[in-house]
A and B are shown apart, each in its own frame.
Chain A
């Protein structure tokens, strides 16, 4: 397939502080002890998309990501890592790497996705409609992606984070309108011309933009060149293309234009008449874009398509701490097919090299990384524990993520928290819904709830 894939891996997302740090850019955050980026790469590989460009914000982060990629998958995939300046936005990042883009179509994937929706399907839809842009939509998680109850702190933060409002045509093929619900104050405007051309527009708020887009390269570059103020793909470029789909300013197909250039004016007219007479004779419409285009003669249209993922598919973007917790829980729990690990009969993974003390239990939906040690009389439930962690005795870990090389003293109780790598909890620390930054030391005997520990 002549698709080039751009993975926008971002840099150090401010939403994820303190989980991300200098040492750990967002793309390398561990999900079930694998960097989140590896899930994206696996997903792309499964669709046989192997020509990838990973765009990272900031040189340092790029080095880190590049290092990981070269160690992990250089043999299977053809990956380039490109560093762009920080805070240029998604559109800015694409502008910066424009010279790398050569294929006819570009698939743009956010680097923080954990999903099992095949990106190949998006690419296929894109090609089938010869669209300028195809957007993948998936069901908005209403009550959280996982149905498994009983995870503390789940309910209160489960409001859908992004509230996309999406207008589709009656066949759910074309994207007619897109807006962010939070940005709409009182009312919004929909272009009548689009509405008239399409006949019906279904407005949905139960779908969300999954940040997987297929663009025609020529269109994308044209827009990026023409509109230097556009910063974000989602907020600027996509709405622009949707709005202008019936009077395209972008030459969606330059070769076509040249062919049609001079000699074919007459031909065009004939075509118009054919379609016009179809309108008059009440024939079924070819596609509203074609009808519209023919009516205008000089104007061009482009199609904005959607691919709506099946509701049963899993999709989460790792863009908040809550999402991080959810993803970790789901990948070793409900949606364990994503993790790529094989689970034991107890629905958990305990690495053979991990050492468990006596009377210690590791419940289902848990993961214990390579070389970790757990003391006596501990209980681990629905949690991920990284590699080479040292956990004392009488420790309770529930619904938490403990990253590599963390040290947890005797008698600690951890619930719904994230302990980053190299962090240390001294004895009898009680944490609930807390985040502990990498390398941070929490003093003995303290009790905390809903706090963030970071060096200022």
Chain B
């Protein structure tokens, strides 16, 4: 097969590589080992993780043949046994405690060959690893039906009470013995943990007490299948019944092609502890209807409806136009449990069309770009710190407890560190709470480099914080170290001064920054100072304690600086950008209650027109989704007669328990169970709508606020600025909140007052503010708005 050809015809899969056993061995172990290995060409194919139908050669070939129009997708049918004797699997209540679900089916008159048999076993193994989550969710057991006799009982027993001869063993073992036997089995030991600690183990018996299997560990030897097996009994035990059904469907659809009546599967009956019975396999075909326009619109193509139906049919999704407009009816076979939404069908159409055949277009989305403020500040600072002679390091956010505590002479309990529950090594015990250990380790790993070593890092640490939804937050830090023959405190101190210069903070006790002696066990006594900015502590600098230096395997003196940089962000509206989400929804979502843009399906229909008529006036602005729908349907008014008739969107052969979640809602705008909208229901709806609007208006409305930064210039150079500020702050209005302020030089020794405030837009305007402040004529010359941002 030509490589390019297969790549072209992608059925959602790609030919990864053409190779041979010989090539693989020679690549991995050398040419000498490869001699004698098979030269048979292997095609390595990458199968998407959710395409269980492509896991075996049978399914893959079937898929390709259908895609190439060489075969019509087979129809899988469930049949009753010819003799009328349905195989039954009875589940007892003991299984509830350990593995409550089971499904079963029979492949009748199957013919195995070596290849088919191997493929059958291989598919089981692949399913076990994949959807069955290493047998924890589902375990498959296959048995030679002619060696056992039903009905079968699926029960659970204490391990000591279970005894049988397991697959490929020569004698009987108790379950307890088996568990210790398989402790050393390279394959089975990975599954033991699933039931090991349970008081009872799952076990399946036939009517004569013969053990079929002890899921999810091992089958019994008695019923094992072989090349000569004609009738196969398949059981799947599970924690998740949906997955069990999928696994059973995949197994039987793939291998029923070798039955005397190809693609038929004999049913089996499962009896639940409560007496309820179910027939398996389900082999459910589901029908969905969607419009050709929907697919064209989502993919960005414009294919005629018939062509789209053909594309989908080639993907084993039997489709045909219904004739009603561009509507297509799609049948989803039991082999495609991955198709759960119209978007999955859309993807298949796109795959069949060929991703690389789709015209690449440019969306016309107009947006203005903003940087995340803390990142913007970080980027700017990094440049200038490198210009100041320090080299940037980049260390891991995860480290050992020792790194952030013991090595720095700190207690782990004092660190506010978050702890990882499942680290594979000590390197990943905690998230770092300080950048210092990373930098010291970087120095240690680069001791051969010429001195001095001057390093910095600006990055996030993680601290526990109860006020956050997850109980922790990041904090952006700046850390620098100077490592040389002398401590160089003055160098680190100089870097602090430069950093403050960069951040426009002056050296001053209250209205600037200063450092002050502090005690810190990480630092040499008397050589540590705390950094205060506008009276608030932001970090520390000093000469490291010799013990700390030693613990990081260093030998020279070292001085260090670490501080928060978030306090320097300023108070722009952008600075308020956060990943925090509102925990209460202020706006009710119509569309979230309603699955579609339209009353039914993805296109406007008569149902929309009926509902439109029922609403007498334009909905209020607050109901934005409803309003959007209203305006949209209004645009159809001219053509409304041509809108398609109402319909039921999905035909579900295998409907899940109907969800009546709508009933507990206080409002159901489009309760469209009733196909025809009567005037009465419409009236009730409108009444409810009104009630809802009224109810909503009582809820605290979202108050529009703005953050304003005002520049207040004094009357002259003799104006007392503190008095000025006092005057400004004396302005009080409803919805006005004064914030931080600072004095900024204007020139000739004159300073202006910059003061922030937050106002409620509806209550306070900038004009009012200006007017109120300029009223202090003795002090104030002018007032300007320096920044105005919506919050």
Judge: A and B partners, yes or no. Answer: no
B residues in contact (CB < 8 Å) with A: none
- Interfacial residues, chain A to chain B (CB-CB below 8 A): none
